Amino acid sequence: MSTQRFKNELRGSHDDPYFDLDSYIDEKATTNTQVNEEKFNEPHSSTKRNLVAMILILIPAVWFFFSDPFSLFANDSNVITTQNGQTVFVEGSGNSVQTPTPSTFNFEDFNFNFNFGSNDLGITYTDYLAQLKEYDYLDNFGGSASTRLYQNNVPVEYIDQFGKAGILNNFGSSSISRLYQNQVPFEYIGKIAEAGLLNNFGSTSISRLYQNQIPFEYIESFKEAGILDDFGSTSISRLYQNNVPQEYISELASGGYLNNFGSTSIVRLYQNSVPASFLKTLDEKGLLDDMSSESVVTAYKFEGQ
């Protein structure tokens, strides 16, 4: 009877999440030891009963070592670090964690009316933490990160726009603080994200583009022409401020001349009306690789006009 009960209990233990295997083994080992001691003194104790007792001890031991019982006590959360040094806690569902990439933004859901000039949030640090928790962003920022946001007077509502757009993991506390301090409205950031350009521009670049009043459409034209990877935010700003159309840059790119000239040189070539066809002529004569943009302008003035 006791043997059958042991088997039933062992079978049922797999379905009980609170089953304490160690206590169970100790209890059964003690019980079996007592039974064996009693049987040892009997003159007619059988070898068969001794074997049964050993089997009853070995079965749970084998299950213990091969079924990973410690998984019952595993932590139910995982910690990941984002590309920007952010620490994020996610539920341990067993699925891979992916950074959400929004396809479209409904800008009516966002609030752009922030007082960027404010030097004080008007709340204590603990109240700020309480707000982060209320908006469900407290786990996204550790102690130093939340302190940085608070010291830079970044409203939680500003952070909330990154969360609503699904791009909070693309920016750390330093980046969000920088964007806020440079008074970059989320509408501009959202357009950059919606176009899939966050891999091209970080917070410093986005701030520079916005402060230089570079229209988003001008930036996007570089992507559409397939030449965005050839220019950073400083170069794009310089080209736009000097009224260099993207079409002229595309002509140089089609000829393979972007390796010869940076943004400053392209500005000089455009301002001096040097066509891509003249660069082709120099290239065919084997001269272009040895010439600076200033030399090209000089040559064009002598022969191109």
Residue-wise pLDDT tens digits, 162-173: 999 999 999 999
**Shared-domain flag, residues 270 and 186:** no
**Shared-domain flag, residues 177 and 83:** yes
**Shared-domain flag, residues 112 and 196:** yes
Q: What percent of the chain has pLDDT over 70?
A: 60
Tokens of 300: 């064009």
What local confidence, expressed as pLDDT, does residue 303 receive? 85
**Shared-domain flag, residues 55 and 144:** no
**Shared-domain flag, residues 125 and 191:** yes
Whole-number mean pLDDT of the chain? 74
Give the end of a domain, one of 196, 211, 226.
211
**Shared-domain flag, residues 104 and 196:** yes
Give the end of a domain, one of 150, 177, 211.
211
Residue-wise pLDDT tens digits, 57-91: 555 444 444 433 433 333 333 333 333 343 332 32
Domain that holds residue 231: 217-305
Phi-psi region of 19 (alpha: psi -120 to 50; beta: other; left: phi over 0): beta
Residue-wise pLDDT tens digits, 213-227: 999 899 999 999 899
**Shared-domain flag, residues 136 and 154:** yes
**Shared-domain flag, residues 131 and 230:** no
Give the end of a domain, one of 211, 237, 271.
211
Q: By C-alpha distance, which of 288, 233, 279 is closest to 253? A: 279
**Shared-domain flag, residues 157 and 184:** yes
In whole angstroms, what separates CA 204 from the centre of its chain? Answer: 17
Which region among 28-37, 143-152, 241-250, 262-271 has the lowest average model confidence (pLDDT)? 28-37
**What's the structural domain count of the chain?**
3
**Shared-domain flag, residues 37 and 93:** no
- Number of other CB atoms surrounding residue 111 within 10 Å: 12
Which region among 57-66, 222-231, 259-268, 283-292 has the lowest average model confidence (pLDDT)? 57-66
**Shared-domain flag, residues 265 and 233:** yes
Cα→Cα distances 288→7, 116, 271, 284, 296, Å: 87, 49, 19, 8, 8
**Shared-domain flag, residues 200 and 276:** no
